[in-house]
Structure 1
Amino acid sequence: MPAISLPIRTDRLVLRRFDGGDLDAFHAYHSLPETARYLPGPAKTYTQSMERVGRYANFSFEKEGDWVALAIEAAGEPGLQGEVVLKWLPGRGQGEVGWTLAPGARGKGYGTEAAQAVLRLGFEELGMHRIEARLDELNGASAALCSRLGMRLEARHIDKWHYKGQWATELIYSILADEWRIGSRG
């Protein structure tokens, strides 16, 4: 796959590599139970946040299993608003997209705009064939975001995950490169 050229700019956002200056803002929203609700594991400690920001800052995207996590910033307003992730899944041209936003960034369309940019990266620059999103069925905001991206609901796996003391149903949304090309022209 070709190298990823950063930063990625959209109309309102800058998607860039994480750096050490993002730690406090990252921890501020990842330490909240409301943020951790639909993520594996509990709210993050400061040490866990430090480890995660370090991994995000030092990503490589060279082979299946690699992933890139990009910091989301509002253009002209430095400061971490969240992150968007693209994983390179096993299988020819397969990917997975995900996102997490700080509370103050939610409801502004930043998640949709950042995810659109990552889909464009996956399909147009990296040549992926299919990109999916996996989420907890109770996460209505992310399901709505998938729909705005033109992704279709492909699967509903009942009681697939056991986390946070209960079973959760997993939804899998996806979009193919051909569908992306058709939808991105409209």
Structure 2
Amino acid sequence: MPEIRLPISTKRLILRRFEGRDLDAFHAYHSLPETARFLPGPPKSYTQSMERVGKYANFVYEKEGDWVCLAIEAKDSPELLGEVVLKWLPGLGQGELGWSLAPGARGQGYATEAAEAVLDLGFGELGLHRIEARLDALNAGSAALCERLTMRLEARLVDKWHYKGQWATELVYAILDMEWRCR
């Protein structure tokens, strides 16, 4: 697997490894019920946030099952806006994309811009063939983001998960490398 060259720069953003200075901002939005609503588990405690930031800061992307999780910050401000994730799935050339943003950063196109950069990374340097995104059907914002990325809805898995006291329908969006290059 090729080495991931960081930071990644886009028109408005810098995608980089997490650092210790990100902890308070990370915890501020990951401790919110509205952020945790569509993520596994309850809102994070400060200790859980510390563990997660440490894991993200020291990611290794060498084999199936590994993740790259990049901090998102605006070029004009070093404040953490959120994160974008690419997981190397089992099977030749398979990946999974994810994201989470602080409430103040939502609705400004940052997640789309960061996800585009990670799709470029996945299909470019990393040589992936297919990248998917899995989300709760109630997460309309993430579904709209997948559609902006020209990902196709491949599956609607009714009552796929039981978490947080209720059944959830999972949507699976995906895009192939040739589709990404031709869009």
Q: Specify the SS of the correspondent of 2:71.
A: strand
Question: How much has 1:93 moved relative to structure 2?
Answer: 0.2
The aligned residue for residue 176 of structure 1 is 176
Aligned partner of 1:135 in structure 2 is 135
1:76 & 1:107 partners in 2: Cα distance? 18
**Structure 1 counterpart of 2:126:** 126
Aligned counterparts, 1:1-186, within 5 A: 1-183=1-183
Structure 2: 5+ residue runs without aligned partners?
A: none
- Superposition RMSD in Å: 0.4
Distance in structure 1 (CA, Å) of the matches to 2:17 and 2:53: 10
TM-score scaled to structure 1, two decimals? 0.98
By how many angstroms is 1:45 displaced? Answer: 0.3
For 1:145 and 1:26, how far apart are their aligned partners in 2?
Answer: 21
Shift of 1:37: 0.4
Amino acid at match of 2:16: R
Cα-to-partner distance string for 1:100-126 (whole Å, 9 max, x where unaligned): 000000000000000000000000111
Q: Aligned AA for 1:170?
A: E
2:78 partner letter:
P
Describe the superposition over 1:30-86 as per-residue Cα deviations: whole angstroms up to 9, x where unpaired.
000000000010000000000000000000000010000000000121010000000
Distance 2:109 2:76 in 1: 17
Q: Distance in 2 between matches of 1:144 and 1:63?
A: 30
Report sequence identity in percent: 78
SS of residue paired to 1:78 = coil
Q: Please, what TM-score do these two structures have when normalized by structure 2?
A: 1.00
Q: Which runs of 5+ in 1 are unaligned?
A: none
Offset from partner CA, 1:123-168 (integer Å, 9 cap, x none): 0111000000000000000000000001000001010111110000
Q: Return the alpha-carbon distance in structure 2 between the equivalents of residues 33 and 66 of structure 1.
A: 27
Q: Which amino acid aligns with 2:75?
A: A
Aligned residues: 183
How far apart, CA to CA, are the structure 2 residues paired with 1:76 and 1:16? 15
**Segments ≥4 residues shifted beyond 3 Å:** none
- Tell me how far apart the structure 1 counterparts of residues 6 and 143 of structure 2 sit (CA, whole Å): 28
Equivalents in 2 of 1:79, 1:57: separation in Å?
16
Q: Distance in 2 between matches of 1:160 and 1:75?
A: 39
* Secondary structure in structure 1 of the residue aligned to 2:124: helix
Aligned to 2:63, the other structure's residue is in SS state: coil
Q: Which amino acid aligns with 1:146?
A: C
